[in-house]
Structure 1
Amino acid sequence: MDLLSLRCFQVVARHEHISRAADELRTAQPSVSRTIARLEAELGVPLFDRRGRRIHLNRHGAAFLLRVDRALAELEDGRRELADVARAGGGGEVTVASETLLTLTGLLARFRAARPGVDVRLRQASADTMAHLLRTREADLCFASQPLAGPALESVVLLTEEVLLAVPRGHRLAGRDRVAVAELAGEPFVTPGRGHWQRVLAERLFDRAGVRPTVVCEGDEPGAVLDLVAAGLGVALVPALARESGTRDIVAWAGLASSDARRELRLVRAGGAYASLGARSLADFAVGYFGDASARAGGAAGGGGTGAP
């Protein structure tokens, strides 16, 4: 049993698909299959259930994966710790994940100006994938607008803000302070795909109001939502900070009459993991940056006619 075999198993277990795992590992499918077969023979139990060309992690594989994740994470922590020692006097490195990278653009612009020696790497990922990236140490920090599953994860709230209704200019709801969710029944709705925090929030609000959203556009590009609203395709839930961006004037805004129409942005990391110099630097900087952003958003909400419900 060697590290390459364990890494191969880890990737296959995540995808439950040989060809996708082979693509990520940049190796041939037969090689991946042979590696898994050798590992199973060495362990004496099957790790996957096979149904034709499909494979599924079984209970033995799930139990083994927990140990493999922990072992490889410890080794990665050791690599990062020694890397910090080796670049004594340097800025270090940090890998960051977020549901949408738009959340990080302003932060990283300020951070790179203040800490030019830190090597920052970015990944866009769903909530489930971010939790996995933290457990396997493929990410140091995650910026999440919904809870990430995992008992070993630690988080700190960076920002709590109102979620507003973005509507096309001239829309019947434009400028309203308190729009009941029930009033949105039948309105064409623009939203990111299932699993994204805005979609999760929308489904919760509509469910409580006893109405179903008429989704006319969904996808994996949250940054395109305002442009789609401006084009007249529908309305959307958008965090209040979006009004401070350069695109705020292309749509009109309304407040929602719901105390649940809020976003809580959290900085999440793996508890007990080695925090690299770069990760510590960015985490500290993010706390200050989003604290300032929250204060700015509060001022804007107070003067913009769409006060918190």
Structure 2
Amino acid sequence: MDLLQLRYFQAVARYEHISRAAEELRVAQPSLSRTIARLEAELGSRLFDRQGRRVRLNQYGAIFLRHVDRALSELDDGRRAVREARDTGLGRVSVASETLLTITHLLGSFRVAHPRADVRLFQSNAEDMDRRLRARDVDFCVASQPLTGANLDSIELLREEVLLAVPPGHWLAGRESVTVPEIADEPFVTTRLGNWQRALLDRLFASEGLAPLLSCEGDEPGASQDMISAGLGIGLIPAMSRQVGTDKRVPVAWVHLDAPDCHRVLNLVWNRDTHLSEAARKFREFTTSVPFMRHRLPDPCPERLPGGEIA
């Protein structure tokens, strides 16, 4: 039994499909099938139930996969530890986030505090974050939705209200609050399925027995405010955007949505079984040492609203 056999087995077990596993591994399908057959012969037991090129991990394969995952994870961690000990820097920290705008200033502040750290950033939805954490492709996820993978730990970074943003001159502009039924016929600017804004919008409408009317679905939540300002619809925007004054660059009117649990919870999530580099450990300490909003850049020209509130 060699390392190549174990990695081939892990890929086939993940996809349960010979063709897809072969494509990821960049090997010929017959070669991959022969490797798996040799491994099964060595173990004296079938690991998969065959259905053409489609395979299903059986009970023996599931038992073996748990040990293979742990073994390969330890080897990968050992490789990273040697690299970090050899390098002069702090090592690498990899972070995934649903929208890059959420953590731009956080990462910028971290780089200023730790210039020797190698920082890598990925944009991912909840499903992709879960996969990246399981595969140890990233150290941390900054997530606005619950991640359900095994062996995950998390720390809450921010809990904030989500507001309804409407274009200037809209009939809702100037309203203090509005209910979901009142906006049932309004077109919404939102994100695709898998992002927190869409999940929240669908949940709020479903609680009223309604479905939202969508005018635009995108992949970048940070672009929603621009489209709302342009008059393409209304949408859900976190209060953070109002607090940092983005409405002065991208003008919209803000309305409270009279609905239960209309808020976003931002969590820092990591796999407790993953080796963390020194850079990753310092990032976690840095991120959780002060309130998240302290990492935001101050608005250079705050506008005072009625009652003295700063937008």
**What TM-score does the superposition give when structure 1 sets the normalisation length?**
0.84
Deviation, structure 1 residue 42: 3.9
Amino acid at match of 1:74: E
Aligned twin of 1:82: 82
Aligned twin of 2:91: 92
Moved more, 243-252 or 254-263: 243-252
Aligned twin of 1:45: 46
Percentage of identical aligned residues: 54
Contact kept? 1:143, 1:265, Cα under 8 Å? yes
Structure 1 gaps of 5+ residues are none
Equivalences for 1:283-294 in 2 at 5 Å?
283-287=284-288, 288=290, 290-293=292-295
Contact kept? 1:96, 1:142, Cα under 8 Å? yes
Cα distance between partner residues in 1 of 2:232 and 2:16: 37
Amino acid at match of 1:94: V
1:171 equivalent to 2:170? Answer yes
- C-alpha distance 29-77 of structure 1, shift in aligned 2 (>3 A): same
Cα distance between partner residues in 2 of 1:152 and 1:205: 30
Cα distance between partner residues in 2 of 1:67 and 1:290: 38
Deviations 1:89-109 (A, max 9, x none): 522211111222222212112
Bigger radius of gyration: 2
Contact kept? 1:173, 1:254, Cα under 8 Å? yes
Contact kept? 2:109, 2:295, Cα under 8 Å? no
1:275 equivalent to 2:276? Answer yes
Contact kept? 1:160, 1:294, Cα under 8 Å? no
Cα distance between partner residues in 2 of 1:157 and 1:169: 34
- C-alpha distance 292-60 of structure 1, shift in aligned 2 (>3 A): same
Amino acid at match of 2:97: S
Contact kept? 1:226, 1:251, Cα under 8 Å? yes
Contact kept? 1:159, 1:294, Cα under 8 Å? no
Cα distance between partner residues in 1 of 2:49 and 2:245: 48
Contact kept? 2:166, 2:228, Cα under 8 Å? yes
Amino acid at match of 2:262: A
Moved more, 167-176 or 29-38: 29-38
Amino acid at match of 1:178: S
Deviation, structure 1 residue 185: 0.8
- RMSD (Å), alpha carbons: 3.0
Moved more, 160-169 or 131-140: 131-140
- C-alpha distance 163-63 of structure 1, shift in aligned 2 (>3 A): farther
Moved more, 186-195 or 9-18: 9-18
- C-alpha distance 175-112 of structure 1, shift in aligned 2 (>3 A): farther
Deviation, structure 1 residue 157: 0.5
Deviation, structure 1 residue 303: 4.8
Contact kept? 1:70, 1:136, Cα under 8 Å? no
Moved more, 260-269 or 106-115: 106-115
Aligned twin of 1:135: 134
- C-alpha distance 177-120 of structure 1, shift in aligned 2 (>3 A): same
Equivalences for 1:52-67 in 2 at 5 Å?
52-67=52-67
Deviation, structure 1 residue 15: 3.8
Contact kept? 1:161, 1:294, Cα under 8 Å? no
- C-alpha distance 151-67 of structure 1, shift in aligned 2 (>3 A): same
Amino acid at match of 2:116: G
Equivalences for 1:190-205 in 2 at 5 Å?
190-205=189-204
Aligned twin of 2:221: 222
Aligned twin of 1:252: 253
Aligned twin of 1:211: 210
Q: Name the SS of the counterpart of 2:177 in structure 1.
A: coil
Contact kept? 1:72, 1:136, Cα under 8 Å? no
Aligned twin of 2:241: 242
Aligned twin of 1:146: 145
Cα distance between partner residues in 2 of 1:304 and 1:13: 60
